[in-house]
Amino acid sequence: MNQKPLPQYPALRPRRIRQSPALRRLVRETHLSVDQLVLPLFVRSGKKVRNPIASMPGVFQLSPDELAREAIRAHALGVPAVLLFGIPDRKDDRASGAYAKNGIVQQAVRLLKKELPDLLVITDVCLCEYMSHGHCGIVHREKRGATILNDPSLKLLSRAALSHAEAGADIVAPSDMMDGRVLAIRTALDGAGFSDTPIMSYAAKFASAYYGPFREAAESAPKFGDRRSYQMDAANANEALREVALDIAEGADMVMVKPALAYLDIIHRVKTEFGYPTAAYSVSGEYSMVKAAGAKGWIDERAVTMESLLAMRRAGADILITYAATEVAGWLKNDR
């Protein structure tokens, strides 16, 4: 090499801007704020029910009264939004509980909007928790196995989304990954006078082993097969962008990438490519890993949680969906 070495100018000292906490804060590029947090909650029927989920310490299946308490606690710390999942008393092969007028989520939405009108209530729209077989769409069984019926599932998903909006949901969030569901839901909402209800679509949802603990929490593990015919292959990033493009074309107002930590490249590309409000869903497995290692004293739970959320923000996420939202809100408050 005949290149001359760089002259050692005294000006070349990157360390200079890291000398003090105030200086570090002054030059910080990315910020975590309570305004970005969404807390997922699981609701089931009953009174004073708090069923712990073994694989997710600190997370419970809650009856509506306890759900309200949990939401009040989060909201008091500044968490602006919750994401509701329902666990019905009965499941069937039409997912009736998903769109019942007095279904568990519909009841919970009405209660939360009454108790906490300022809290944004987002509802997960899917069929798996309500289906006896645990799949996100209608299943057609044949001799050679089972197939998911995409288009008939859209009717049920639209009914579910509409019933959530009627109950007062501020945002509906379809997580099923059937093709065409954003348009079907948008059309159903508009047709019933809910043209102002936004859709946050689980646009790039990968078939992921990180959902393991959630399936215990929501009692939604598929009884046979898996979700690989409708959820995405972890190997595919371009396909994720196509999925997001379709959802936006169909009328999605916000898009989500899920899981988060193992898919930061996708978050970054989605935000850069489309510039839409982008949510990162830090899923059950991400939460459980940090909790477990933290409980063993192997990692600093709080520091790892904050670092991970910051990474999602740095990648481009505007909205952070995390089971740790209430704890994080508390930490952010104490940092002030």
Active site residues: 205, 258
- State both tokens at 181: 């569901």
> Rg of the Cα trace of the chain?
21
Three-state DSSP class for residue 275? coil
For ligand PBG, which stretch binds (CB under 6 A), given 74-82, 113-121, 210-218, 260-268?
210-218
Shortest spacing between CB 138 and ligand PBG, in angstroms: 14
Interface stretch with ligand PBG, choices 124-132, 191-199, 310-318, 325-333 (CB under 6 A) = 124-132
263 near ligand PBG, rule: CB under 6 A:
no
- Distance in Å, CB of 268 to ligand PBG, minimum: 21
> Could you say which of 135, 227, 271, 313 contacts ligand PBG (CB under 6 A)?
227
Task: Assess 181 for contact with ligand PBG (CB under 6 A).
Answer: no
User: Distance between CA 217 and CA 238 in Å, rounded?
Assistant: 31
Cβ neighbours for 217, distance < 8 A, ≥ 6 positions apart:
42, 53, 55, 56, 59, 61, 85, 284
Is residue 289 part of the contact set for ligand PBG (CB under 6 A)? no
Of the two residues 112 and 173, which places its CB atom closer to ligand PBG in the complex?
A: 173
Does position 124 interact with ligand PBG (CB under 6 A)? The reply is: yes
Contacting Zn ion (CB under 5 A), which of 39, 77, 79, 126?
126
Nearest residue to ligand PBG by CB is 214
User: Which of residues 283, 309, 312, 315 is near ligand PBG by CB under 6 A?
Assistant: 283
SS3 52: strand
Separation of alpha carbons 279 and 81, rounded Å: 13
Using CB under 6 A as the criterion, which residues of the chain lie in contact with ligand PBG when the complex forms? 124, 126, 128, 136, 175-176, 211, 214-215, 220, 227, 283-284
Using CB under 5 A as the criterion, which residues of the chain lie in contact with Zn ion when the complex forms? 126, 128, 136
